[in-house]
């Protein structure tokens, strides 16, 4: 009897949940061997504090969507709940595996440690782990000298097709036979939530409708909490989990740009796609940012933690309507536009004077598009602790009046304020006792008094941060950061 095990390639899917323009899958198929696509729900990540159920559901929806497509190829993804090394050990008892393919992950410290163990595992088992670059992010760079060129080359190269030979992917039957011996998680997810649903099909719907007409309002609506929800692309979770590749999105926008007259909005969108790579590259080169400020000059900054302030902020009970509307909306829908994200972080770190590290996990859990490479650098920028970016302390009232003038967003998310006249919806604390009576509304009972004074807290934050920023270490660090993370050649791809 022939007991030789079948040799297969395995593609270990991570944050690249797509078949098209997936370099890991492409390379595995090009080699000609039979190929298994694998996704592993790893217990240490399922329990990690940066993530929450909404992320795992998004992934499950993405896998279900992929499996629908794979039916055409009589295949499916092997989905396992296990430590990744145990999953591969189990596969090794049935198959010979000499090559594993995946994308490089610019993840958090625990995934970095996991990857190091996985490299050791591969060495011990004489397996080659091929890792493709992701989002144009280069591993092992010491500075940005050649980054732009390399990143441009990535963006300009053609997206890769998905074209397995007939029978090249392991069949549904083969995979189901293996599933009998492993723990497979349920892929059921809650219906009727206000969160964006995962999957490439949904990602393409968002992208196509944006490129069809929604992009026309992009620049006018990008800062508005309500209008941005349709005026922006909303593709961020699909990029973060890899349902769409940033390169394919860029190419679609690039081709559209050639055919339209008003190019400004599309150009603004395309440059943000490049920012995505820029930020992830920064985090790739400074992964210490997960825990500490990139600028060592700010490591001595100690802020007194207030559980009350933090709880009020998380639950949208600060007494500042726009902040509260944003936090409640985020908790329910998993999305806020850029300016509102910056605003809530600015309020937490400057007005409430709380450490950015304490905002980090709540936000990463709530944002459906949690992308470590954008999350940590942005948090530190908004907290004013990089030393190289403009110190911006957003005023919640000014932003409220400017970006939600008729209080539509506020009234939607803070219904306690919906019967007030518009000026009071922005600043309910301006109401006199008599006005409160007229509106059958009682400050302190129906809605909280503001938990801090905006002017004095703003001044304290600004004075302290400027003082720190002007110290020797912070200045030296600023120079180091600029030298390491800026490129002499600042031109972005084709000036697009
Ligand atoms: C504190 C804070 C945390 C953030 N955390 C994340 C995060 O975890 N994941 C995430 O994708 N974005 C994050 N952002 C950036 C930005 O707010 C979101 O990318 C954007 O709001 C997503 O909406 P959209 O897809 O409609 O974006 P669009 O405006 O349509 O932009 C298209 C894409 O460009 C990229 N992009 C847009 N703005 C930025 C930016 N400022 N920096 C880097 N890339 C950008 C995103 O991939 C986005 O999907 C954060 C911003 C702040 C201030």
Round the average pLDDT of the chain to a whole number and report it: 95
Q: Are 168 and 29 in contact (CB under 8 A)?
A: yes
pLDDT at 471 exceeding the cut of 70:
yes
Rounded mean pLDDT of 140-167? 92
Model confidence pLDDT, tens digit, residues 211-254 = 999 999 999 999 999 999 999 999 999 999 999 999 999 999 99
Of the candidates 336, 369, 378, 133, the residue with the CA atom closest to the CA atom of residue 247 = 133
Q: Is residue 279 lining ligand 1, measured as CB closer than 6 Å?
A: yes
As a whole number of angstroms, the longest Cα–Cα distance in the chain is: 93
Q: Is residue 234 lining ligand 1, measured as CB closer than 6 Å?
A: yes
Rounded mean pLDDT of 181-191? 95
pLDDT of residue 261: 87
Beta bridge partners of 6: 95
pLDDT at 487 exceeding the cut of 90:
no
Domain spanning 201-290+487-495, CATH architecture: Alpha Horseshoe (1.25)
Of the candidates 388, 303, 390, 389, the residue with the CA atom closest to the CA atom of residue 351 = 303
Model confidence pLDDT, tens digit, residues 300-318 = 999 999 999 999 999 999 9
296-477 has which CATH code?
A: 1.10.579.10
Q: Is residue 338 lining ligand 1, measured as CB closer than 6 Å?
A: yes
Rounded mean pLDDT of 147-170? 95
58 alpha carbon to ligand 1 midpoint, in Å? 18
Q: Are 496 and 271 in contact (CB under 8 A)?
A: yes
- pLDDT tier, 2 (very low <50, low <70, confident <90, very high otherwise): low
Q: Give the other-Cβ count within 10 Å of 479's Cβ.
A: 11
- pLDDT tier, 492 (very low <50, low <70, confident <90, very high otherwise): very low
Which of 196-200, 258-262, 380-384, 446-450 has the lowest average pLDDT?
258-262
Q: Is residue 214 lining ligand 1, measured as CB closer than 6 Å?
A: no
The domains of the chain are located at: 6-132, 201-290+487-495, 296-477
* Choice from 236, 245, 323, 345 to test ligand 1 binding pocket (greatest atom count within 8 A of CB): 236
330 alpha carbon to ligand 1 midpoint, in Å? 14
pLDDT of residue 494: 36
Domain spanning 6-132, CATH architecture: 3-Layer(aba) Sandwich (3.40)
Of the candidates 317, 342, 314, 315, the residue with the CA atom closest to the CA atom of residue 452 = 317
Assess whether the region 201-290+487-495 and the region 296-477 belong to the same CATH fold: no
Model confidence pLDDT, tens digit, residues 30-57 = 999 999 999 999 999 999 999 999 999 9
pLDDT of residue 488: 59
- Helix segments in 33-146, DSSP class H: 43-46, 53-70, 84-94, 109-124
Q: Is residue 367 lining ligand 1, measured as CB closer than 6 Å?
A: yes
pLDDT of residue 493: 36
Model confidence pLDDT, tens digit, residues 387-408 = 999 899 999 999 999 999 999 9
Cα 319 to Cα 123: distance, rounded to the nearest angstrom: 57
pLDDT of residue 145: 86
Rounded mean pLDDT of 132-154? 90
Which of 76-80, 134-138, 347-351 has the lowest average pLDDT?
134-138
Which of 22-36, 144-158, 291-305 has the lowest average pLDDT?
144-158
490 alpha carbon to ligand 1 midpoint, in Å? 21
E strand or H helix at 277, and its extent? helix 264-285
230 alpha carbon to ligand 1 midpoint, in Å? 14
């Amino acid at each position: 009897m022939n007991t030789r095990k079948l040799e297969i390639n395995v593609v270990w899917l991570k944050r690249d949940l797509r078949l098209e323009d997936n370099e890991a899958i492409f390379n595995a198929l090009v080699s000609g061997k039979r190929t298994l696509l694998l996704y592993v729900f790893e217990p240490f990540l399922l329990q990690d504090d940066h993530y929450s159920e909404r992320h795992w559901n998004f992934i499950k929806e993405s896998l279900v969507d992929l499996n629908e497509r794979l039916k055409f190829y009589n295949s499916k993804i092997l989905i396992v709940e296990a430590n990744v090394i145990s999953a591969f050990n189990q596969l090794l008892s049935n198959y010979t595996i000499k090559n594993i393919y995946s994308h490089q992950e610019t993840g958090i410290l625990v995934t970095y440690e996991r990857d190091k163990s996985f490299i050791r595992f591969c060495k011990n088992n004489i397996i080659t782990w091929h890792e493709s670059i992701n989002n144009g992010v280069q591993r092992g760079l010491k500075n940005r000298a050649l980054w732009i060129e390399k990143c441009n080359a990535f963006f300009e190269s053609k997206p890769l097709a998905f074209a397995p030979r007939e029978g090249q992917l392991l069949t549904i039957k083969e995979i189901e036979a293996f599933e009998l011996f492993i723990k497979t998680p349920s892929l059921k997810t809650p219906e009727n939530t206000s969160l964006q649903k995962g999957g490439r099909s949904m990602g393409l719907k968002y992208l196509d409708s944006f490129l069809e007409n929604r992009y026309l309002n992009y620049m006018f609506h990008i800062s508005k909490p309500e209008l941005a929800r349709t005026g922006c692309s909303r593709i961020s979770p699909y990029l973060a989990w890899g349902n769409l590749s940033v390169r394919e999105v860029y190419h679609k926008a690039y081709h559209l740009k050639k055919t339209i007259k008003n190019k400004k909005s599309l150009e603004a969108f395309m440059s943000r796609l490049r920012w995505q790579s820029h930020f992830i590259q920064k985090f790739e080169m400074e992964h210490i940012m997960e825990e500490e400020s990139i600028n060592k000059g700010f490591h001595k900054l100690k802020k007194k933690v207030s559980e009350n302030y933090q709880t009020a902020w998380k639950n949208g009970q600060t007494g500042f309507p726009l902040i509260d509307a944003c936090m409640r909306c985020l908790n329910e829908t998993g999305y806020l536009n850029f300016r509102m994200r910056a605003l809530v972080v600015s309020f937490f770190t400057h007005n409430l004077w709380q450490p950015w590290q304490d905002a980090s996990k709540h936000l990463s859990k709530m944002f459906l598009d949690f992308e470590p490479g954008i999350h940590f650098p942005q948090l530190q920028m908004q907290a004013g602790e990089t030393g190289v970016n403009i110190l911006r302390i957003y005023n919640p009232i000014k932003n409220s009046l400017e970006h939600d003038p008729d209080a539509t967003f506020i009234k939607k998310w803070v219904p306690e304020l919906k019967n007030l006249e518009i000026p009071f919806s922005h600043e309910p604390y301006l109401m006199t006792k008599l006005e409160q009576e007229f509106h059958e509304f009682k400050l302190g009972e129906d809605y909280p008094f503001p938990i801090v004074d905006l002017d004095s807290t703003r001044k304290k934050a600004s004075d302290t941060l400027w003082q720190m920023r002007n110290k020797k270490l912070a200045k030296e660090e600023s120079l180091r950061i600029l030298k390491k993370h800026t490129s002499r050649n600042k031109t972005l791809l084709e000036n697009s």
